[in-house]
Chain A
Amino acid sequence: MKKIIYILLFCLVPAGHSLAEIQCNQFEIILYSRVWRVTSYFVQDDLIINPNKDWEMLEPEGIAYKAGFVYASGDREQWSSGSRLAIYTWQNNVLSYSGYKQMPNTSPDWWGPDGLTFNLSGDVNSYGSVANALVSVEADSPSQAGIIDITTGAVSGKKPITLADDITHIANTGQFAAIADGNEISTVTIYDKMLDIAESNFPVIDGSRGIASLSSDFGEWMSGDTVSGGGFLITSAQDGINTLVMYDLAGNQVGPQNRLPAVPKARIPLGGGLYLIYPAFGSIEAVAVDQTSKTIFIGDESNAMIHALAFVRLAADFDGDGDVDGADLEILTGQWLLADCSSSAWCSGTDLDRNGKVDFYDYALFAEYWNISEIY
């Protein structure tokens, strides 16, 4: 009888519902004195083949970017078909699901990596540098690294590694950096180019589980500070607070800790006027950067989302013409003392500290940008 009830109930699941990503939020935030447009995609159901039989879910813990494609992975579950690598295109600031590759999904070979990175060095004596190779780490016990063939999903070259929640290849030095959120402290460990020897490590902000390397040019462009040799962009999720922080290769924090907001809430349509409401950011676990288009991709495990943060303009360049001048000051004065700024537009962007009011604090911030110009 119970089986009959289940069959009837499963029949209620609309078999034809969309299995592609759902854009569920779009808003702007300020990071490192620049405006970034956040577009959030709910991706949980993208990997499903048959919604009535297949319980695979994508909750992104690993994310990597290369040449217009975003790759995402999450933990596999032993009873699900699991172990799928999701592939998206990123074109014209739009993320589109384009399919998946099945990785090994039977014990003991199953693979559901927590971290992904490309090694684009071309150095044949470096781990995972061949064409179509995607370096990955699986934080299971024992923790391992493996090389995924992005054309087939096959995994090769497995080797043990100290516990790692994410990994990134450092283009400038040829090394790898792995990040692990331990019980009391989060640590970045620098490995040699074969991922064999842990050469050094340094502590980072608690709750850190995502890491992406940055070139020195990009790091300096983002932070406005010197980031000699390159740096890291690190995601932290701790006690419901999500943070992006930059470090240099020696482990020195560069610029402020950028707290990511919980609002505006994401709205995931379920049909018939019904929406699932999530915080703007849930638990960010992975990060990748396209330095060419100036886009940051963030994997959000608890929200089952991929967030794309695309650079828009300098925060005080309200008219978006590439400089901060009298025309921007005119826009600021036009919004002066408004007290109902909301996340939809933040009073034409002039509420620079995002406290809902345009006041002297915003004017002080604006003054710091005065006469700065930047070609977009």
Chain B
Amino acid sequence: MSINQHFFKGEIIMKTLTGLFVCILLAGLVPAASAVTVDLSSPQEGATLAPGDSLELALTVANDSAWLDLAIVMMDVEVTTADPNAPAPGNIPGISHKPVRIWLAPGKSVTRSLELVLPDYKKLPAGEYDVTISVEVLGVISQTQAGDSVSFLMVKE
């Protein structure tokens, strides 16, 4: 093998490795567009509310994949307190939230309006509570999941 042949072979290996490196780099930079995504927002986020008040919510579920997907949306409401002396109410028991099911065409998103009328929470003592409304979305076809949440303060007298 001549020096030229050695040089030529080395150049091919270098080009191949460089190409592979660039591919790996690009693959890391380009997001995998094949999932359901979710956004939960409220114009009252961070506000102080009381039992009986209502909260407006906007839920946007999107399908970034190239296939039709069925999104199963599950909501949850969690009430917590930072007061170390108060009993931790955790998630109020006995409340089950019916899932919302949405067919999503490829690349499409759907926005749904929701309202939370704050229950009386009769078991809770008076005080300040953090209320978090969380959403979990499952893409049945894409086998993906996503979540989001909004929080606000509840004052119970």
Task: Number of A interface residues at 8 Å Cβ cutoff, please give it.
Answer: 29
- Asked if B95 is at the interface (CB within 8 A of a chain A CB), the reply is yes
Residues of B contacting A194 in the complex (Cβ-Cβ under 8 angstroms): none
- Asked if B115 is at the interface (CB within 8 A of a chain A CB), the reply is yes
CB closest residue in chain A, given B133:
A274
A9 touches B116 (CB 8 A): no
A2 to B144, CA, bound (A): 9
Known A55-B70, A277-B115; contact A272-B99, beta-carbon cutoff 8 A: no
B119 touches A57 (CB 8 A): no
A274 touches B74 (CB 8 A): no
A14 to B100, CA, bound (A): 12
- Asked if B18 is at the interface (CB within 8 A of a chain A CB), the reply is no
- Asked if A67 is at the interface (CB within 8 A of a chain B CB), the reply is no
Interface stretch, picked from B6-14, B27-35, B135-143, is: B135-143
Residues of B contacting A5 in the complex (Cβ-Cβ under 8 angstroms): 145
Contact of A273 among B117, B138, B145 (CB under 8 A): B117
Known A9-B138, A17-B96, A277-B115; contact A272-B77, beta-carbon cutoff 8 A: yes
Residues of A contacting B138 in the complex (Cβ-Cβ under 8 angstroms): 6, 9-10
Known A9-B74, A55-B140, A277-B114; contact A270-B145, beta-carbon cutoff 8 A: no
Known A274-B116, A275-B117; contact A55-B101, beta-carbon cutoff 8 A: yes
B115 touches A275 (CB 8 A): yes
Could you mark each residue 249-272 of chain A with 1 if its beta carbon is under 8 Å from any beta carbon of chain B, else 0?
000000000000000010101111
Shortest distance between the CB of B12 and any CB in chain A (Å): 40
CB closest residue in chain A, given B95:
A272
Known A273-B118, A274-B116; contact A13-B74, beta-carbon cutoff 8 A: yes
B101 touches A57 (CB 8 A): yes
- Asked if B152 is at the interface (CB within 8 A of a chain A CB), the reply is no
A17 touches B98 (CB 8 A): yes
Could you mark each residue 1-41 of chain A with 1 if its beta carbon is under 8 Å from any beta carbon of chain B, else 0?
01001100110111001100000000000000000000000
A13 to B137, CA, bound (A): 12
Chain B binding surface, main DSSP class: strand
Contact of A276 among B72, B112, B136 (CB under 8 A): B112
Residues of A contacting B103 in the complex (Cβ-Cβ under 8 angstroms): 57, 77
- Asked if A51 is at the interface (CB within 8 A of a chain B CB), the reply is yes
A13 touches B95 (CB 8 A): no
Residues of A contacting B99 in the complex (Cβ-Cβ under 8 angstroms): 13, 51
A271 to B92, CA, bound (A): 12
A227 to B72, CA, bound (A): 47
Known A12-B74, A276-B100; contact A271-B141, beta-carbon cutoff 8 A: no
Residues of A contacting B96 in the complex (Cβ-Cβ under 8 angstroms): 14, 17, 271-272
- Asked if B97 is at the interface (CB within 8 A of a chain A CB), the reply is yes
Could you mark each residue 129-157 of chain B with 1 if its beta carbon is under 8 Å from any beta carbon of chain A, else 0?
00001001010110101000000000000
- Asked if B48 is at the interface (CB within 8 A of a chain A CB), the reply is no
- Asked if B50 is at the interface (CB within 8 A of a chain A CB), the reply is no
CB closest residue in chain A, given B59:
A276
Known A6-B138, A9-B136, A274-B77; contact A14-B113, beta-carbon cutoff 8 A: no
CB closest residue in chain B, given A16:
B96
A55 to B102, CA, bound (A): 10
Shortest distance between the CB of A3 and any CB in chain B (Å): 9
Shortest distance between the CB of A301 and any CB in chain B (Å): 11
Residues of A contacting B95 in the complex (Cβ-Cβ under 8 angstroms): 271-273
A79 touches B141 (CB 8 A): yes
CB closest residue in chain B, given A79:
B141
Residues of A contacting B133 in the complex (Cβ-Cβ under 8 angstroms): 274
B115 touches A267 (CB 8 A): yes
Known A13-B99, A55-B101; contact A273-B116, beta-carbon cutoff 8 A: yes
B113 touches A277 (CB 8 A): yes
Known A9-B136, A13-B72, A55-B70; contact A272-B97, beta-carbon cutoff 8 A: yes
- Asked if B75 is at the interface (CB within 8 A of a chain A CB), the reply is yes
A276 touches B114 (CB 8 A): yes
CB closest residue in chain B, given A2:
B143
A107 to B76, CA, bound (A): 38
A-B contact pairs, 26 of them (CB 8 A): A6-B138, A9-B136, A13-B74, A14-B98, A17-B96, A17-B98, A18-B98, A45-B98, A55-B101, A55-B140, A79-B141, A269-B98, A270-B97, A270-B100, A271-B98, A272-B92, A272-B97, A273-B95, A274-B75, A274-B77, A274-B117, A274-B133, A275-B115, A276-B113, A277-B115, A278-B113
Chain B residues within 8 Å of A, Cβ to Cβ:
70, 72, 74-77, 92, 95-101, 103, 112-119, 133, 136, 138, 140-141, 143, 145
Sample of 11 further A-B pairs with CB below 8 A, known A45-B101, A79-B141, A272-B97: A5-B145, A9-B74, A12-B74, A45-B98, A269-B98, A272-B119, A273-B119, A276-B100, A276-B112, A277-B113, A277-B115
